[in-house]
Amino acid sequence: MACLMLGSKSESFHLQGDTWLCSTGLPSDVIIEVGDSSFHLHKFPLLSRSGLLQSLIRRSSSSLHDDQSCVVHLHDVPGGPETFCLAAKFCYGVKIELNALNVVALRCAAQYLQMTEEYGEDNLVFQAERLLDEVFGSWTDSIRALETCEDALPLAENLHIVSRCITALALKACTDPCLFSWPVSSGVAGRGENSAGGCTFFRSYRFMGFSLSAGNDAKILVGSTLWNGIRPAAGNSKSNCVTADWWYDDVSSLRLPLYKRLILAMSDRGMSPERISGSVMHYTMRHLPLMGRQPGGLDSGIATMLPISAMSEPDQTGLLEEIVNLLPDRTGVTPTKFLLRLLRTAMVLQAATLCHDRLERRAGSQLDGALLEDILIPSVYYSTETLYDIDCVERMLEYFMAAVATDLLDGGGFVEEEEEEEGRLFGVRSTPITVVARLIDGYLAEVATDVNLKMQKFQAVAALIPDYARPMDDGIYRAVDIYLKAHPWLTDSERDQICRLINCQKLSLEACTHASQNDRLPLRFIVQILFFEQLRLRISVAGWFFVSDDLDGSTDKNHHHQLLRNSVDGRRPHQNHFESSNLAFDDIKERVSELEREYLGLKLDLRKVAKTGGRGGIWDAFFRKLGLRRRPTGRETMMPPLKPPMPVVYDDPREATVN
């Protein structure tokens, strides 16, 4: 730490209670009152150094008798009694030490007392400025000095000490430390220094899944102190180069007003948004207790390494709103997990609506980076009936879809119309929306068990996901099934309405099998699933004709070996080829005939079901024909007869293949 030794006389000041006495052998002739302390001093040393004391003492002495002591009140001295004591010792020539911890207060006190060159050569103002120039050249000393500026305001601001200190820190933080071999201490005011060995230790933090470390490659760096006050590593190898987050812990010790000014200064100097965001995240975890109490907020054992300041809820609310303003606006710079943690904290602290909206917009625009546990935000408002805040997730999903639409309009999206029906999205942009669709399906399945969740709200959230974003509809089918199970009082029309969220053509074989035996689903929906499964089977069988043609063409490469085998058998090559082809076609024709007979039987059963409304054992026979078992329920006898829409049935099965 930079320091400056002044004076040559031995210590002559001693404290008795709240009174400072100067033992020079002469009686005191002036009393200086500073706060709760009083200084019994002598006029001459003070008059020779301080213009303010010279003026006040002369004014007070003019109205006193010769045997009375002069009393001067200085209750506005920057730094209080401790700083004035150092200034008084300087006037007496007593040895004092100026360092980064007291130089700001002494500089402000010297200005207040008018201890300039006009009242003595090398006066206290000059000496303090001399040390400040050295302090601003060191990162650690600059941090220490900036912390002390908070107790010397507003004079420290008027003297441009704060701005000079912030400028010095911003310059050092924006400079690549690898260019100067800048390893950095893990804390302020010697917290990372070992006085015995001169070593600097580095700490690594990890919270909420994000790693914030100071020096990942070098754990202990030894060396002499450079001009900037930071101990360099031994050697110039790149392995000793510190990471870009080396300064996070140091600046997090500042109070919010100074920290905010420092971050803005770094941003103005071109610091990357990623580093700005990392520092703000580190500062938040240190000063917002609620962030550390949330599940998954901090890894085990790390909370003790990040001391959390005790703040009242109004102060925490103000801090959170300022932090939201400091976070960079660029999408993807701040992790979605952290933004959602901030949103939860804002809800608990009842922050301003504007703060909520900004967090929802930022988190929503990068919703593809969230996990299911992140968006399960509990309701904190008494007016909300549901267990989770569904409205918040709905708004974030709307912001995400708006961002996707903007990208499409700007030429960043590339949905192929021909593939849209198959649920495919080409290009890099397909990944985020597909991830979000899977995330929302899981979210709906989680909140579907809430009996207070209205069907309209469930549908509104599910409908925000476009059809092409879901390659398969198994996720939304699972969510709908859970919702129907948790809400058995829904009417048949409501069940039919909520099942419209599911695309039957995009269900897997397992989902179709489950749905065909699911007595919670409406009859109309089950018929649609069975019809599309039958249609899919016919398309698959029709593909055999094209496969057989391909198989015929693929035999060319083995034609020579076939000729040899035919010559041994005594048969002509073309004769053997036609015989094998005829056998394959005969087998396919037989299989197609069987499928046609089954299809005609299914068509007749469907017509019977449509006429009878599903009463009696017709459905049981229908399911047995498909090889499925259906659980009988009492609900069917209570249901009014439904007339499901008839699927398109072709008299000739070949017409379905052609169409």
In a domain? residue 185:
no
In a domain? residue 622:
yes
Mean pLDDT score, 366-371: 94
Q: Contact 130/148 with Cβ under 8 angstroms?
A: no
The tens digit of pLDDT for each residue in 358-367 reads 999 999 999 9
Domain final residue, candidates 73, 108, 135: 135
Domain final residue, candidates 135, 163, 186: 135
Task: Indicate if the pLDDT at residue 302 is higher than 90.
Answer: no
In a domain? residue 144:
no
User: Of all residues in the chain, what percent are helix, strand and coil, respectively (each to 5)?
Assistant: 55, 10, 35
- Residue found under tokens 């070593």: 199
Lowest mean pLDDT among 180-184, 318-322, 482-486: 180-184
Give the pLDDT score at 585.
59
Here the CATH number for the domain that contains residue 106 is: 3.30.710.10
Q: Which amino acid is it at 415?
A: V
Cα atoms in the 13 Å half-sphere on the side-chain side of 523:
23
d(CA 284, CA 573): 82
d(CA 206, CA 208): 7
Positive/negative CA dihedral, 247, 248, 254, 260: positive
Give the pLDDT score at 293.
57
d(CA 561, CA 577): 13
Task: Indicate if the pLDDT at residue 297 is higher than 50.
Answer: no
Give the pLDDT score at 609.
60
Q: Which tokens in the block code for residue 267?
A: 């941003």
Task: Indicate if the pLDDT at residue 136 is higher than 70.
Answer: yes
In a domain? residue 309:
no
Q: CB under 8 Å to 318, separation ≥6 — which residues? A: 256
Q: Contact 525/504 with Cβ under 8 angstroms?
A: yes
First-residue to last-residue Cα distance in the chain: 86
d(CA 166, CA 260): 10
In a domain? residue 474:
no
Q: Contact 189/144 with Cβ under 8 angstroms?
A: yes
Mean pLDDT score, 456-464: 95
d(CA 534, CA 655): 14
pLDDT band at 191 (very low <50, low <70, confident <90, very high): very low
In a domain? residue 647:
yes
Give the pLDDT score at 52.
93
- Residue found under tokens 């579907």: 448
Farthest CA pair distance, the chain: 148
In a domain? residue 282:
no
pLDDT band at 411 (very low <50, low <70, confident <90, very high): low
Give the pLDDT score at 620.
59
Task: Indicate if the pLDDT at residue 310 is higher than 80.
Answer: no
The per-residue pLDDT of the chain, averaged, comes to: 77
The tens digit of pLDDT for each residue in 59-105 reads 887 766 666 678 899 988 999 999 999 999 999 999 999 999 999 99
Which of residues 310 and 90 earns the better pLDDT score? 90
Q: What is the DSSP string of 206-265?
A: EETTEEEES-SS-SEEE----TTS-PPPSS--GGGPPPTTTTHHHHTTS-HHHHHHHHHH
- Residue found under tokens 């941090």: 143
The tens digit of pLDDT for each residue in 240-250 reads 556 778 899 99
Q: Which amino acid is it at 534?
A: Q
Mean pLDDT score, 506-522: 87
Per the structure, the count of domains in the chain is 2
In a domain? residue 467:
no
Mean pLDDT score, 397-420: 71
Percent of the chain with pLDDT strictly greater than 90: 46
Which regions of 411-485 does DSSP assign to beta strands (E)? none
Torsion-angle region of 79 (φ positive above 0: left; ψ -120 to 50: alpha; else: beta): left
Task: Indicate if the pLDDT at residue 41 is higher than 70.
Answer: yes
Structural domain harbouring 123: 3-135
Domain final residue, candidates 92, 115, 135: 135
Distance set, CA 569 to CA 110, 217, 438, 566, 575 (Å): 117, 75, 60, 5, 12
